[in-house]
Structure 1
Amino acid sequence: MIEAIFAFRAKPGKEDQLREATLAIVEPTRREEGCIQFVVLEDINTPGTFFIRETWRDQAALDEHFAQPYLKALGEIHKEILAEPLKQHTLKVYD
């Protein structure tokens, strides 16, 4: 299994827009083949700071996820409303 963790923060005043755009990809992502878990988290103490934790069957499933049109659309939105570049960690899961 592969786990990916993303961290990102909205520009001031863009918190609601980022929250809405991020939550819009939850359901279609969870329906993807190979998606085991997909969770969006927001920092309680710093609204507008988000994390996504996702678990995939394998790297091929994660690669397919990255190719989805709705994820590419979110990337375009990120260009306008993120305070800094998205941080990504891709991890191998050992059971």
Structure 2
Amino acid sequence: MLNQIIKFTVKPEYQTEFKAALVTNKRGTTNEAGNIEMSIFVDNNNPNVFFAYERWANQQALEQHMAMPYTADMIALFDSALDKPVELFNLGETNPVPVALKPANPEDEVFIIIFIFKINPQMRQQLLTQFEQHINHTRTEPGNLLFDLYTVEGDDNTIAVYEHWRKESDVWDIHFNQPYSKVTGALMEQAVVGDMNQYMNFVTEINA
């Protein structure tokens, strides 16, 4: 299986057009047999930043997707619409493996974080080992809907975390006060390059 996160930073004047192209691309993708998942998001703090989280059965499925007319139409916008080059993160599987998203309740606000951060590579294995425990505990929290961690292929300096919560307070008031979160947080303070806040993207899913 192939997993990837793609970040698009769009010029303000192209925001509406590019968002529409993303939505059209997602709608078309729902009919592709090789697509496992495609979710698209807009950054809560910057409406010109979009993300796609994609899972594909194999490389052939992704190549077939890239040849589809709705994908080609979106790519054709890149030269004029993007404010900076596309940022593509090819994700490696880690332990524990990704799991299915738990269903949200009607009253859930749903709080989503895409956290892609740079680390000191010398601390990589220690951090991954700690996250194995951290993830298993986190997934048992009532407020957690999804918590997956990925390495980034070809880049030992980068790790990606993709998480869904029932509401924002489940993160700040409950999750970060758990004993395992405090252990992970202390290790992150040593391992992450620079201020962790710069890497956090709070996003809203765009329904197509």
Name the aligned partner's letter for residue 86 of structure 1.
Answer: V
- Which residue does the alignment assign to 1:42? 42
Deviating above 6 A after TM superposition, structure 1's stretches of 4 or more consecutive aligned residues are: none
Letter aligned with residue 33 of structure 2: E
2:85 is equivalent to residue 79 of structure 1: no
Match of 1:8? 8
**1:77 aligned partner, one-letter code:** L
Question: Matched residues in 2 for 1:62 and 1:93: separation?
Answer: 17
Which letter does structure 1 place at the counterpart of 2:73?
A
Cα distance in 2 for residues equivalent to 1:34 and 1:90: 17
Letter in 1 for 2:58: D
The alpha carbon displacement at 1:44 in A equals 0.5
The structure with the largest alpha-carbon Rg is 2
Deviations 1:38-86 (A, max 9, x none): 0001100011100000101111111111121211111111211110111
CA distance, structure 2, for counterparts of residue 69 and residue 4 of structure 1: 21
1:63 to 2:58 alignment: no
Amino acid at match of 2:81: I
Aligned mates of 2:30, 2:89 — CA distance in 1: 19
- Shift of residue 17, structure 1, vs aligned partner: 1.4
SS in 2 for 1:39: strand
Q: Residues 58 and 70 (structure 1 numbering): CA distance in 2 closer, same or farther, change over 3 Å?
A: same
Gapped runs of 5+ residues in structure 1? Answer: none
Q: Which residue of 1 aligns with 2:31?
A: 31
Count of residue pairs the alignment pairs up:
95
Q: Distance in 1 between matches of 2:23 and 2:89?
A: 20
How far apart, CA to CA, are the structure 1 residues paired with 2:17 and 2:66?
A: 21
Tell which has more relative contact order, 1 or 2 (C-alpha 8 A, sep 6+): 1
Q: Which amino acid aligns with 1:38?
A: M
Tell whether the 8 Å contact from 2:18 to 2:74 is kept in structure 1 after alignment. no
- Cα offset for 1:12? 2.2
Structure 2: stretches of 5+ with no match in the other structure: 98-208
